[in-house]
Chain A
Amino acid sequence: MNPRGSRLHRLGLLLALVGFLPGCATKGPDPLERWNRSIFSFNEGLDKHLLEPIATGWDWLLPEVVQTGIRNFYDNTTMPVTLANDILQLKLGAAGQDLGRIVVNTTAGIGGLIDVASMIEMPANKEDFGQTLGRYGVPPGPYLMVPLLGPSTARDVWGYPVDGAARPLNYFVPIWASLTLRVVENFNIRAYYLEELREARESAFDYYVFVRNAYLQIREHRVHDRAGQPPELQDDLYEMEGEDAAGQPPESQDDLYEFEDD
């Protein structure tokens, strides 16, 4: 089997699948809510019955130092993705720093197992193709829940094929090996967030909306490089009357003709 051919095939399928999305008429941030909610509950079911139990065992079985090592190793293999997007966004200082990280961690950090770079004050940047598109003014478009992969948007979903192509590992090891690594990292990272996710699920009033809102906020924040909330999201967030809050379902207008009591 020719791995490059299969990759291109996958890429083509994904593009065909999402190509029409940016063209959809957008009403609020989630015009695909029905599809998204059903995929979300599918993903949630998978998590509850498969990922979470395995991750719990994983967490119990593996010492923290092993979990950290796996996370560091995986992060180091994906660092070239950030590097490529640093360059695409013309952030050359960050690119230099991230290149330095890869060199330091791959050598002194024994193939990436130890995050030496962070210890010597070379923190990791985090860039992906969705952020690059955002930086050049592409709006996120409709919120999109992807089977198995989780929350995304019509813009961010392009990161899967494009950033996948920027992972050098994909070119040097067979596809089953890089897939195995991703699955392993999935259990590993899930184990890392066992408690946080359980708390988030329990405390949310509507977990689907909670995840959607958090995802969209985090992505906007990253696109704008942490420079506060962009005006589009902020909207009337800090206004008392909040007359036209974005993303409110039309039903909440049912007070439109009621008398106000203050």
Chain B
Amino acid sequence: MTSTSSKMTRNQWIRRSAIGLVAVALLAAPAIADDAAEAEAIVRTTVDQVLEVLAIEGLNDDQRRQQIEKIAYDRFDFATISRLVLARGWKRFSPEQREEFVEQFKIQLSKNYGSRIIRYDQERVEIVDHRLERDGDVTVGTRIDGGAADGIEVDYRLRRKDRKEDGPWMVIDVIIEGVSLVASYRSQFAEVLGHEDPSELLKQLREKNTASPT
């Protein structure tokens, strides 16, 4: 008899906790949706700001790039991006070297991507979807519509600053047609750091940054 009664309580317990779980899920769902919507809104705003700059007539390339830099610098988390591209190599950098790397890598990205963006001046950008990643990041998918880059898919991966619950969403990777910026630089830096010191990588970075603009 005891076994039956304990079975019943177990069933009840299961039922109750199931209801509880559903309730929790229902409560939590809007929060997760809000998260993703917030990240998506940030991408939308940032992209629109950049497109606005591209549409201004009478700016030269340098002025355009500076304005885009100003927008991007608020939205990209260069410290996190730097740690991701250096991966385990990060540990070999001294605090001063790390600081310099973050600064130089920021310049490198601006130089490399900024010069490409300003070439596209007649595009529209539509947000295609967003995806919640397992680690809490959100990936926002966009597609370029019209112009020379028509149909190109650009995904932005965002993470809350310092992974704090109320931290602002910052871009930590740009994935163009499946090619991740972080993965691309990580593989190259791993190669360089495979046979060189951090100081040598920093030297190469500085050289590329000061080379004549392409």
Contacts and interface: CB of A to CB of B under 8 A. Distances in A.
Q: Do A and B come together as binding partners?
A: yes
Interface of A: 123, 198-199, 202-206, 209-210, 212-214, 217-218, 220-222, 226, 228-229, 233, 236-243, 245, 247-249, 251-252, 255, 258, 260-262
Contact of A238 (B111, B133, B214): B133
B42 interface: no
Interface string B44-87: 00000000000000000000000000000000000010011011
- Which 8 pairs, one residue from A and one from B, show the smallest C-beta to C-beta distance? A221-B178, A242-B87, A249-B194, A205-B188, A213-B187, A251-B194, A206-B191, A217-B179
Interface residues of B, number: 53
A143 B30 CA distance: 44
A252 B183 CA distance: 16
26 contacts: A199-B214, A204-B188, A205-B191, A206-B188, A209-B187, A210-B188, A213-B183, A214-B179, A217-B178, A217-B180, A222-B178, A229-B175, A236-B87, A237-B173, A237-B182, A238-B157, A241-B88, A242-B88, A248-B88, A249-B190, A251-B194, A252-B190, A255-B88, A258-B92, A261-B91, A261-B94
Contacts of B194: 248-249, 251-252
Interface string B198-214: 00010010001001001
Nearest to A243: B88
Contacts of A248: 87-88, 190, 194
A249 B187 CA distance: 10
Contacts of B40: none
B195 interface: yes
A249 B188 CA distance: 11
A229 to B, nearest CB: 7
A251 B194 CA distance: 5
Interface of A is mostly: loop
Interface string B121-164: 00000000001010101010000000000010101010100000
A247 B190 contact: yes
Contacts of B172: 238
B208 A203 contact: yes
A206 B180 CA distance: 16
Contact of A229 (B90, B180, B187, B191): B180
B83 A240 contact: yes
Given A199-B214, A213-B184, A228-B155, A218 B190 contact: no
B193 interface: yes
Contact of B186 (A202, A245, A258, A261): A245
B172 to A, nearest CB: 7
A179 B178 CA distance: 31
